[in-house]
Amino acid sequence: MTVVSVTVNRTVYRRDVEDRLLLSDFLRNDLSLTGTHVGCEHGVCGACTVIVDGYSVRSCLLLAVQTDGAVVETVEGLGTTEALNPLQKAFQDHHALQCGFCTPGFLMACTDMLRRLPLTTDAEIREALSGNLCRCTGYEHIVNAVRDAVRKRGPL
């Protein structure tokens, strides 16, 4: 067991964890932050995407102990049901989710790409989204939502 001290969505947590505990399981089970989903546990689907120290990562491929001292952002740190943030709002406006299971992963991946990438063309948006799988939407509405979010963000 190892003590991990990690900041998640601006709250500091200290927990004693098994070294092999996945970050995804740590967030979901130890911290009860079940918004982060798990779709494959082998790094392909992107449902478990969170942001660690500013970069989007797959929480199923990280161990909780690797985040000792890190700053983690999850879907619970975005807007609330009463006050969606602009990206969440764009997802709702454009019907970019159906079952919603992949959605937290897409939101975190998009949060990262909106901070860092110009995303000026649809091709660039589609390329950036290609690390996340959605089986419901066919992606078109997600592309539309991101384009809208880029427009509201303005150029970098």
Partner 1 sequence: MDVELRPKLVGQRIKRFEDPRLLTGAGRFVDDITPPGTLFLAFRRSDHPHALIKSIDLGSALSVPGVVAVFDATDIENDLRPAIPSSRMKGYYATPLWPLARGKVRYVGEPVLAVAAESRYAAEDALDRIQIDYESLPFANRAEDAVADGAPLLHEDAGTNAIVVRSFGRGDVDAAFAGAAFSVGATFRLRRKTPVAIENRCYLAEWDKRRSALTLHSSTNIPGVIRDVLSDCLDLPGNRLRVIAPDVGGSFGSKGSLYPEEMLVAVLARKLQRPIKWTSDRLEDLASTSQAFDEIMQAELAVDADGRLLGLKADVIGDIGAYSIYPWTGALEPVQVVSFMPGPYRLENYQARVRGVVTPKAPTGPYRGVGRPAATFAMERLIDMAARRLGLDPAEMRRRNLITAPEFPYRSASGIIWDRSGFQECLQAACDKANYDSLLRKRDEARAEGRWVGIGFASYAELTGIGSRISVAPGMPINTGTETATIRIDATGSITAAFGIASHGQGLETTLAQVIADELGCRIEDIEIQHGDSALVPMGTGTYASRSAVLGGGAATLSARVVRTKVLKAAAHLMELPVDKLVAHNGIVSAPGSNQSITFKEIANAVYAQMGRIPHNAREDLVASETYDPYFGTATSATHLAMIEIDTGTYGVTVTRYVVAEDCGRVINPMIVDGQVQGAVAQGIGVALLEEVIHDDDGQIVTASLADYLIPIAGTMPPIGIVHVETVLPPTQGGFRGMGEGGTIGAPAAIANAVSDALSAMGIEITTLPITPDRIFQLITQQGSLPQ
In the Cβ-directed half-sphere of 89, how many Cα atoms lie within 13 Å? 12
Nearer to partner 1, 36 or 67 (CB): 36
**For residues 153 and 156, what is the distance between their CA atoms, to the nearest angstrom?**
8
Nearer to ligand FES, 27 or 60 (CB): 60
C-alpha distances out from residue 30 to 34, 54, 69, 87, Å: 10, 22, 17, 28
Is residue 29 involved in binding partner 1 (CB under 8 A)?
Answer: yes
Q: Which of residues 96-125 bind ligand FES (CB under 6 A)?
A: 97-103
Q: Which amino acid is at 126?
A: R
Instruction: Tell me the CA end-to-end span of the chain in Å, nearest whole number.
Output: 43
Mapped onto helix, strand or coil, the DSSP state of residue 57 is strand
Query: Which does residue 36 bind out of partner 1, ligand FES, none, counting CB within 5 to 8 angstroms by kind?
Result: partner 1
Query: Where along the sequence are the contacts to ligand FES (CB under 6 A)?
Result: 38-41, 43-48, 58, 60, 97-103, 134-137
Query: Where along the sequence are the contacts to partner 1 (CB under 8 A)?
Result: 18, 20-21, 28-29, 33-42, 44-45, 47, 74-76, 78-82, 84, 88, 91-93, 95, 97-104, 107, 125-127, 129-130, 132-143
